[in-house]
Amino acid sequence: MADQLDPLSAQAGVAGLRLPRELPDMEDFGAPPPAQAQVAEPEPEEDSLAPDQMLVSEAELATLRDTAFNEGVEKGAQEREAALQTQHAADLTALADAFAAESQRRAQGLQEAADAFVLTVTDVVRALTALDGSLLEGMQRDLTAEAASFVATCDGDITVQCAPEDAPRLQTLLRGHSNVQVEAGQDTGQGLMHIVSPTHSIVIDSEQWRKAVGEKIIAAVTALAEQRTKGPERKA
């Protein structure tokens, strides 16, 4: 029959197949897989760090950086503020010195102008009146000297009431008069004097005294002018 296999052909086909050299044992499929070798992980070499080194995390490093930055900003602000304060103090000192120098210069200028004015007035009066020095000195006596002269002519106990500014000079002028007492009152204005004796009570005003001195000068100048206008009298 055609369907029957030829024994020779079958043998030839079997001979043409290539079988693997080693066939696994069917009974070994149920055995557990061989254990894998455990690879030991290297331990961190802690001893490899130098004694002065340390491990810092990124968070700690960021904190240290921010702290150092803030401290630097604060220190810089303090240094700038101190420098500004020093400069400000130096500017104020220089400005105060400039004002003081200007004030001194102006005061000196005013003093020189006042001295020149007084000398000019004295020279004019001397030239107009042709009076000797003793007479001019008598006309220029101040209020306290006239008050002392008036008190010296009074009898009995005398009290001179004056301003605190006039008291020291009056006490000096009246030192030799035991019957005179000088009292300084806050209610008494400068230039005013109240002289009280058992028989008199007189108030001397500096303004009135100045007017009296001015009248004396005018009278002296007028008399001298009239004398020069008339000229010397001729003898018969």
Sign of the C-alpha dihedral computed for residues 32, 38, 39 and 41 taken in this order: positive
How far, in Å, CA of 8 to CA of 31, rounded?
41
In sequence order, the β-bridge partners of residue 108 are none
16 vs 32, residue with greater confidence: 32
Residue extents of the structural domains in the chain: 57-130, 141-228
Nearest partner of 204 among 121, 114, 142, judged by Cα: 142
- Full-model pTM: 0.29
Mean local confidence (pLDDT), 147-153: 64
How far, in Å, CA of 233 to CA of 72, rounded?
105
Half-sphere exposure of 35 (CA within 13 A, CB side): 3
Fold for 141-228, please state it: hypothetical protein PF0899 fold (3.30.2320)
Q: What is the pLDDT of residues 102-140, one digit of tens each?
A: 878 776 766 776 666 566 666 666 665 555 555 555 555
Out of 14-18, 39-43, 152-156, least confident range: 14-18
192 φ, ψ (degrees, to nearest 5): -105, 140
